[in-house]
């Protein structure tokens, strides 16, 4: 890599990460879809568990590791991977993730039933089938956290408060999801209805989720494994749900949780104190401006 390009990456790690993530996620599949439509020589699928869908979903992780390797080499990669061993955190954060996510989902389903919508049913599937789907879900969305929370969030928190960093990250995270609403991917069934309303729900829910995850992230001193668990538990199709999708009540629930956390824990985990800002603890930091 030319020295000028190397210096640019060092000085603008976050920008390069975002551009690379968007480029991999939607540039490569977009080109494949275009060539398929023009030549009709092959078919392209972005449906769940297809090779291209994994490329889209894993793009934030690929981008993060690429930027770390370019700017810090193998030392940086090893330091980053050591963060996967950061499991020893306060029990309250495990409780927030393991109980909080399923309970929010269950409560949202129950409240939807109260409004006359069938979102809560008696589980009828086998435990084995549920576990298989759950394990498959673990190979998708959780890997995003190598990029969004593991890499981008600590860089943002170097320049902004935790709350501002969460709002900014939530916006870019949801912007990355937007193309998935308009092509045949797992996202097309995530939210349904009027396009404008769907986009509003996407961004509001995504920013609220990011605020909630940021509190847990800072409280656990940057635990990537906890972010993996949160993302995984959020994506699982729970046995009491009749089908896929995100109900309006789920959006309401996460917004309420985010507001409560802002009111109660903002000074502790969302101001400029107690923020986790290390991407590669123990490794020499590259000079950077962003």
Other CB atoms closer than 10 Å to residue 35's CB: what's the count? 13
Q: Tell me, what's the pLDDT at 101?
A: 95
DSSP state of 145: G
The tokens 């940086």 sit on which residue?
76
Q: How many residues in the chain?
A: 290
Q: Tell me, what's the pLDDT at 215?
A: 97
Tens-binned pLDDT, residue by residue, of the chain (290 aa): 666 677 888 899 999 999 999 999 999 888 887 787 788 887 877 788 888 889 999 999 999 999 999 999 999 999 999 999 999 899 999 999 999 999 998 888 888 777 766 666 666 667 788 888 889 999 999 999 999 999 999 999 999 999 999 999 999 999 999 987 776 554 545 555 677 888 899 999 999 999 999 999 999 999 999 999 999 999 888 776 766 567 788 899 999 999 999 999 999 999 998 999 999 999 998 865 55
Tell me if residue 271 falls in helix, strand or coil.
coil
Q: Tell me, what's the pLDDT at 1?
A: 66
What dihedral angle (degrees, nearest 10) is formed by the CA atoms of 13, 146, 33, 235?
A: -140
With beta carbons less than 8 A apart as the criterion, state whether 290 and 67 touch: no
With beta carbons less than 8 A apart as the criterion, state whether 151 and 65 touch: no
Q: Tell me, what's the pLDDT at 117?
A: 66
């Amino acid at each position: 890599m030319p020295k000028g390009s190397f210096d640019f990456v060092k000085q603008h790690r976050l920008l390069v990460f975002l551009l690379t993530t968007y480029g991999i996620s939607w540039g490569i599949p977009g080109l494949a879809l275009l060539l398929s439509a023009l030549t009709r020589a092959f078919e392209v699928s972005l449906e769940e568990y297809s090779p291209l869908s994994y490329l889209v979903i894993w793009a934030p992780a690929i981008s993060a590791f690429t930027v770390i390797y370019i700017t810090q080499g193998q030392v940086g990669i090893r330091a980053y991977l050591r963060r996967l061993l950061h499991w020893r955190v306060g029990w309250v954060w495990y409780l927030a993730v393991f109980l909080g996510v399923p309970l929010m989902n269950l409560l949202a389903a129950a409240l939807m039933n109260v409004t006359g919508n069938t979102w809560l049913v008696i589980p009828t599937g086998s435990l084995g089938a549920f576990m298989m789907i759950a394990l498959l879900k673990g190979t998708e969305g959780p890997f995003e956290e190598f990029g969004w929370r593991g890499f981008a969030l600590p860089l943002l928190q170097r320049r902004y408060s935790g709350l501002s960093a969460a709002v900014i990250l939530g916006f870019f995270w949801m912007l990355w999801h937007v193309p998935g609403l308009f092509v045949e991917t797992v996202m097309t069934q995530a939210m349904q209805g009027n396009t404008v309303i769907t986009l509003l729900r996407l961004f509001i829910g995504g920013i609220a989720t990011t605020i909630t995850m940021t509190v847990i992230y800072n409280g656990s001193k940057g635990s990537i494994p906890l972010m993996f668990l949160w993302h995984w538990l959020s994506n699982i199709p729970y046995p009491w749900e009749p089908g896929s999708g995100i109900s309006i009540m789920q959006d309401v629930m996460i917004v309420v949780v985010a507001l409560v956390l802002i009111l109660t824990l903002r000074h502790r985990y969302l101001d400029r104190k107690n923020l986790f800002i290390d991407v590669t603890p123990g490794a020499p930091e590259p000079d950077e401006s962003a």
